[in-house]
Each structure stands twice: as structure tokens, then as C-alpha cells.
Structure 1
Amino acid sequence: MITRYREYLEFLDKKLTKMFEAQKTFIKCKKGCAYCCREGEYPLSELEYINMMLYYNELPDDLKTRVDDNIINLLKKAREKMYECPFLVDGICSVYPARGIICRTFGLISFDEKEKKRIPFCVNLNLNYSEVYDTETQTLLGNAKDGSEPLAYNINRKFLRGSKVEKEFDIFFGEDKPLVEWLAQEDFII
């Protein structure tokens, strides 16, 4: 099933690359930024988590030790709702090729279940979409100077991990939990 899931990720990444390219005027994401990794809940399906941990198990020992330390420190805390991703090392995702779907889609404007636009929080840090977003009124102001239009995409988890995807790619995402809950089930020494 992991092979089929990875095929799905390749398919999804091609679609997301086109979306990010279409919105490049508004996107400030770059290697080392990592604001999206510094405070979150990181919900993952069981399949996403298994894939991530398989990749993690292949990390070089020194990097794995640093991630282990991050995980242990996270688990020692009182299971805060928002936390820094333990896979973030020196501002870089140590499991980037196996990161979750939520990580792959972050940065784009999306629709929630009620088709309301969801603007990435980094707009408040003068990053993605900040040139065309009024933080006071919480509205998009229109097109960029180059005429580019800020678009919203249907990239919510229910759509990207729904039964249609499961059937088409012959995969099963399984249970959904925050990353910290998945990690709490592992045999990390605390």
C-alpha cells in the first residue's frame, strides 16, 4: 500500500506544483522559512504517518538522533495543542519527501467545508498573499500589480484524502490524529 500511496503523492505533487506556480506572485515559501512548522497541530492519517516514519527510519544516525531528541522533548511537555514539528532540524524538514499532505498544501489559499476562503496564517507575517490581503478587514483586495489573481483551491484534507482518492489509488488513509498523538504511541524513551 505504501507504494500506491507514494504514487498518489507523486500525482498530488504534480497538481500542487502547478497551483504554487500559478500563485508564485503571492507565495513567499522557501527553504529555511519554516514558519508553518514552528507552531501547529500537524494532523496526519495513519497512512501518512507510516510513510513518514519509514522515511525517518532511513535517516542518517546523527540526524535521527536530533529528531529523536526533539520528539522526546515534545512528549515530555504536557501535550500542547500547538507545537513545533519535531522533524524540523535547523529550519529544514528532515522528512521533506515524506511530509504529510497538510505540509504539502500549506501556503495556498484554500476553501473550507463551507467554501469559505482560508488564508494561510503567514499572511500576518508579511509573507504569502500579504500584498493583496487587508489584515484589518480580513479580505482579499484584488489582483497583484502584475495582474495575477489570488486563487483559492479545494485542497482540504477531506477532499485530498477522501474515498474517491482511496478508491482510485487503492489505498486506505486510516485514522486521523495530530502528529504528537501518533508519536506518543511509539517507543521513544522519555
Structure 2
Amino acid sequence: MEYLTRIYMYGGVSVKDVESSKFIKAYAEHLKRGDKFKEPSWVDIVKTGFTKELSPYDRDWYYIRAASILRRLYIRPFTGVGGFKKIYSKKNKIRVKPSHYNKGSGKIPRSILHQLEKIGIVKKTKKGTRKVTSLGRKEMDAIALKIHKETQPNKKEEIDEIDELNEIIEENKEETKEEEKEEEKEKEN
């Protein structure tokens, strides 16, 4: 209980403390509302991998993929384009033939990472991998804190309710002890 009160009181919430799907949706909306991150012209016709037949149906899939990539970089820094190709890979099952493993597209994560580098959220390391900058961490943690406050009930009220319940339980214990003492006195008499 002390841990929950500390998180609520001090705002020590990170991306890891929030449900991934809610964070990705919220950060995708944040990227979409911003002026700096733009989707390329080829977004409506590109496939996300070799195993796919068509482009994604959702119009905002590029922003969702960008938020997903950024969350992955937050949790596991120093990931490159090849790592994201593996993350977004899939088995290709073609009718009767045995299924084969195929990597995802490399163009999509590469273009997303380039744009995030221009904004200043991601930076490239000497080895060619990427990691989230301090500015990006602050921005992501702020969104995570906002989501955490929306999804969690008011902890202060919850703690007050728990304290009231503990007081009632203690009163009941005292009453039962008094009743037991009275019963013992009656048995002695």
C-alpha cells in the first residue's frame, strides 16, 4: 500500500507502469496532433511486411507503429532497424506448403526512427543503434503519468476507505473481546 501511495503522491510513474495498448494509443494521438512528426506520402499503399497482402486498414497505423517503436526503445534501448524487423516479423503460411519465417519491412522503422531523430526524441549511438533521449523520456513519462491518473482511482480516497475499514475491524475485535470476557464472567458465576 505504501508503494501505491508513493507513486500517486510523487508522480514516479514511467512507461513500464502503464498498460502498453493505452500508452501506444495516447502517444500516437500526441504524435498526430504535433506538427513535427508527419507521415510520408507512401503510407496508404505500402505493405508492413513480406507476409502481408495489403496495406493496413487503419488510417493512423503509421502513428501507432511509431508509438510502438518508441515504447520498445524505451523498454529496451540500443535496438536497431534489424531488431525492429525481427520484432514485427511473422510466419508466412501459404496453403499446403510449410510455413516460413519472414522479417518485417525495414523501410517503415527506418523512416520512423529518422523522423524521431529529427524531432530530438531518439538519438543514434556509435554502433548504429538508437536510444531514447532525456527529452523523449520526459515526454513519454508525462503521458504515462496522465494515463495512470486517468485509469487509477483516486488513491487518497481509497486509502481513506481502507483506514476506515481497519478502524471498524479493530472496533469489532474489541467488542468481541469484551463479549468473551462477559461470557467468561457468567461461566465463573
TM, length-normalised to structure 2: 0.28
Give the greater-gyration-radius structure (CA). 2
Structure scoring higher RCO (CA < 8 A, sep ≥ 6) equals 1
Which protein is richer in helix relative to its size? 2
TM, length-normalised to structure 1: 0.28
